[in-house]
A and B are shown apart, each in its own frame.
Chain A
Amino acid sequence: MRYLPLTGADRQAMLAAIGASSADDLFRDVPVAARRDAPVDLPFHAGEMEVEARFAALAARNMAAGSVPFFLGAGAYRHHVPATVDALIQRGEFLTSYTPYQPEVSQGTLQYLFEFQTQVALITGMEVANASLYDAATACAEAAAMAARVTRRKKVLLSGDLHPHYRSVAASTLQFTDIAVEALDPDPLGLEDLLGRVDSQTACVIVQNPGFFGRLKDLTALAEECHAVGALLVVAVAEPVSLGLVAPPGAMGADIVVAEGQALGNALNFGGPGLGLFATREKYLRQMPGRLVGQTVDADGRRGWVLTLSTREQHIRREKATSNICTNSGLCALAFSIHLSLLGEEGFTGLARLNHARAVTLADKLARLPGVKLLPQSFFNEFALLLPKDAAQVVDALAAKHILGGVPVSRFYPSYPELAEVLLVTATETTSEADMDAFAAALREVLQ
Chain B
Amino acid sequence: MIPTLSGNQGLQIEEPLIFEQDSPGACGVDLPDAPAIDDRLGGLARQGPIGLPGLAEPTVVRHYTRLSQKNVGIDSVFYPLGSCTMKHNPRLNEKLARLPGLADIHPFQPQGTVQGALELMDTCAHWLKTLTGMPAIAMSPAAGAHGEFCGLMTIRAAVAARGETRTRILVPESAHGTNPASAAACGFTVDPIPATARGRVDLAALKAKLGPDVAALMLTNPNTCGLFEDEILEIAEAIHGAGGYFYCDGANYNAIVGRVRVADLGVDVMHINLHKTFSTPHGGGGPGAGPTVLSAALAPFAPLPAVVHDDQGFRLIEHAAQSGAMPVGRIKGYHGQFGVFVRALAYMMSMGADGLRQASSDAVLNANYLLAELSSDLSASFEGPCMHEALFDDRFLKDSGVSTLDFAKALIDEGFHPMTMYFPLVVHGALLMEPTETESKDTLDRFIATVRGLARRAQDGGAESFKAAPVFTPRRRLDETTAARTPVLRWKPPAS
Contacts and interface: CB of A to CB of B under 8 A. Distances in A.
Interface-centre pick from A46, A58, A347, A415 (highest chain B CB count, 10 A) = A58
25 contacts: A3-B438, A31-B233, A43-B349, A51-B350, A63-B114, A72-B108, A86-B98, A94-B68, A94-B73, A97-B282, A104-B476, A118-B491, A177-B185, A178-B187, A218-B43, A246-B45, A267-B103, A273-B338, A273-B340, A330-B285, A354-B32, A356-B39, A356-B40, A396-B112, A407-B108
Nearest to B488: A295
A94 B37 contact: no
Contacts, number: 727
Contacts of A61: 101, 115-116, 119
A318 B190 contact: yes
A194 B468 CA distance: 59
Interface string A48-65: 101110111111111111
Interface stretch (B48-56, B201-209, B393-401, B455-463): B48-56
B113 interface: yes
Given A34-B260, A105-B417, A6 B184 contact: no
Given A102-B412, A348-B52, 13 more contacts: A14-B368, A18-B371, A58-B119, A58-B120, A108-B68, A173-B149, A309-B487, A315-B178, A317-B181, A327-B143, A341-B63, A343-B29, A356-B41
Contact of B336 (A107, A169, A272): A272
A186 interface: no
A122 B50 CA distance: 6
B186 interface: yes
A65 B105 contact: yes
Interface in B405-420: 408-409, 412, 417-418
Interface residues of B, number: 206
B173 to A, nearest CB: 10
A13 interface: yes
Contact of B105 (A63, A122, A315): A63
A4 interface: yes
Which of under 10, 10 to 19, 20 to 34, or 35 or more describes the interface residues of A?
Answer: 35 or more
Given A6-B440, A343-B29, A396-B110, A64 B100 contact: yes
Contact of A272 (B181, B275, B338): B338
Interface string A311-343: 101111111110111111111111000101111
A346 to B, nearest CB: 5
A423 to B, nearest CB: 11
Contacts of A54: 349
Given A269-B338, A330-B287, A314 B178 contact: yes
B478 A108 contact: no
Contacts of B61: 84, 88
A153 interface: no
A377 interface: yes
A306 B483 contact: yes
A74 interface: yes
B474 interface: yes
Contact of A138 (B40, B81, B142, B412): B142
A29 B230 contact: yes
Interface stretch (B238-246, B292-300, B326-334): B326-334
A67 interface: yes
A287 interface: no
